[in-house]
């Protein structure tokens, strides 16, 4: 007797990542599962939204760092247009810094790309089942902050856009303007504009103070 799930019953997944090799690897891995079918791929937010409109997949897996609109901006748009869509964010960024922000943007889970394959499957199936997925270490920390509006982050950090938040994180890790521009697929001029906005919003007079703030903030998280 063959207990395999018929192809029509497999959950159709959209993978949004600007690295084709990651999309290809995830497709090969997930399509070995009886219940999952990574049948749609997109390299940026525009492609992802077009695919959603045309095919209405059962789930979206979104990388946080995309060319053009960021992954968090895409999550917000998807949540607005498709309120019931299960969304899992996968990222190289530390979940301690980004998981709460991702959930507030509308995602159902956050998974670091360094996780073992068993955790990837668990995350996807949890999110498809209507649950929130976070690592065990993050569950208690995040739960306390999602009780209500009074638990929302406050202070100057909360005023940052998603891209400014990413830039601040990378500054704290020691990356310079040119390196950040390469990582985020942006021009140096754009990153310089983000740095100027960060100094203004964080009330920092100059570049060295911004670097010190970013490093101290990262260490405190």
* Ranges of each domain in the chain: 7-150, 156-220
> ∠ CA 154-146-103 to the nearest 5 degrees?
90
| pLDDT tens-digit readout, 135-166 | 877 766 655 554 444 444 556 787 888 788 88
Rounded mean pLDDT, 200-211: 92
pLDDT of residue 148: 47
pLDDT of residue 65: 83
Cβ atoms of residues 188 and 178 within 8 Å: yes
| pLDDT tens-digit readout, 100-124 | 888 888 999 999 888 778 889 999 9
Cβ atoms of residues 170 and 94 within 8 Å: no
Residues 90 and 164: their CA atoms lie apart, in Å, by 19
Give percent of the chain above pLDDT 70.
87
CATH architecture of 156-220: Orthogonal Bundle (1.10)
pLDDT of residue 12: 97
Looking at the domain covering 7-150, what would its CATH class be? alpha beta
pLDDT of residue 150: 43
| pLDDT tens-digit readout, 78-105 | 999 999 999 999 988 777 778 888 888 8
pLDDT of residue 95: 76
Q: Which position has the token pair 């889970």?
A: 109
Is residue 63 predicted with pLDDT exceeding 90? Answer: yes
Orientation of helix 136-145 relative to helix 95-105, angle to 10°: 50
Is residue 194 predicted with pLDDT exceeding 80? Answer: yes
pLDDT of residue 139: 66
196: confidence class by pLDDT, cuts 50, 70, 90: very high
């Amino acid at each position: 007797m063959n207990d395999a799930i018929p192809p029509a019953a497999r959950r159709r997944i959209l993978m949004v990542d600007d690295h084709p090799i990651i999309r290809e690897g995830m497709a090969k891995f997930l399509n070995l599962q009886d219940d999952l079918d990574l049948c749609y791929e997109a390299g940026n937010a525009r492609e992802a939204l077009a695919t959603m409109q045309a095919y209405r997949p059962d789930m979206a897996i979104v990388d946080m760092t995309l060319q053009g609109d960021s992954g968090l901006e895409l999550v917000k748009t998807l949540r607005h247009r498709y309120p019931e869509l299960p969304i899992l964010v996968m990222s190289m960024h530390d979940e301690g810094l980004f998981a709460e922000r991702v959930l507030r943007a509308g995602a159902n889970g956050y998974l670091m790309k360094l996780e073992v394959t068993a955790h990837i499957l668990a995350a996807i199936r949890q999110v498809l089942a209507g649950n929130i997925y976070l690592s065990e270490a993050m569950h208690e920390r995040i739960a306390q902050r999602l009780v209500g509006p009074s638990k929302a982050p406050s202070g100057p950090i909360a005023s940052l856009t998603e891209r400014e938040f990413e830039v601040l994180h990378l500054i704290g890790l020691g990356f310079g303007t040119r390196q950040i521009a390469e990582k985020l697929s942006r021009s140096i001029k754009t990153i310089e504009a983000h740095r100027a906005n960060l100094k203004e919003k964080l009330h920092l007079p100059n570049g060295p103070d911004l670097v010190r703030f970013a490093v101290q903030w990262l260490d405190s998280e």
